[in-house]
Amino acid sequence: MAQDKGWNPYLAGGLSGIVSILSVWIAGKYLGASTTFVRTSGMIEKFFDPDRIAKLEYFVREAPKIDWQWVMVLGIMIGAFIAAATSGSFRLQALPDMWRDRFGPSVSKRAVYAFVGGIIAMFGARLADGCPSGHGLSGSLQLAVSGYIALACFFIGGVVAARIIYGRGDSR
């Protein structure tokens, strides 16, 4: 398989840093994304039962609305598409190659695992009152020790999870 040409990681990291700084200067907010998904689910539920949403303590504090963070997440999706399209790596595929190699061609199996993984990740983000970008990236930008600990734990957890799911890999 041909190697996809991605963006330079130093350029991408530098641009992420600039976005982080601008979000504080312009919006007065640190980066984060998990609240966007909760607010979106609140907006969907509000469409069906607005009285229930108005009474829920969480949605009184985190109003279901389109705000700067919601637009940022939309921008991430659009930016990811543009990056993939301009690098020539964009393609539609039901399963990532690594998944197919390890677990076979079942799209439904992948969908179930992704859905359950998403539930676990969102539960953890809400339990921690923020997501990895909020705790790790924004925390470290504030030079908070907890931010650096969070980043280290995310990387270690990611490596361990990848090893458990995909194994050590091969030398292709």
pTM score of the predicted model: 0.72
CA dist 141 and 82 (Å) reads 27
Residues 101, 24: Cα–Cα separation, whole Å: 43
Alpha-helix runs per DSSP H in the chain: 9-22, 34-48, 50-55, 57-61, 68-87, 97-103, 107-127, 132, 138-141, 145-166
Assigned token pair, 144: 């908070």
Per-residue pLDDT tens listing for the chain (172 residues): 445 566 788 988 888 889 888 888 988 888 878 788 888 999 999 999 999 999 999 888 888 999 888 998 999 899 889 988 888 888 888 888 888 888 889 999 999 988 998 888 888 877 877 777 777 888 888 888 988 888 888 889 889 988 888 877 654 4
Tokens of 21: 């700084």
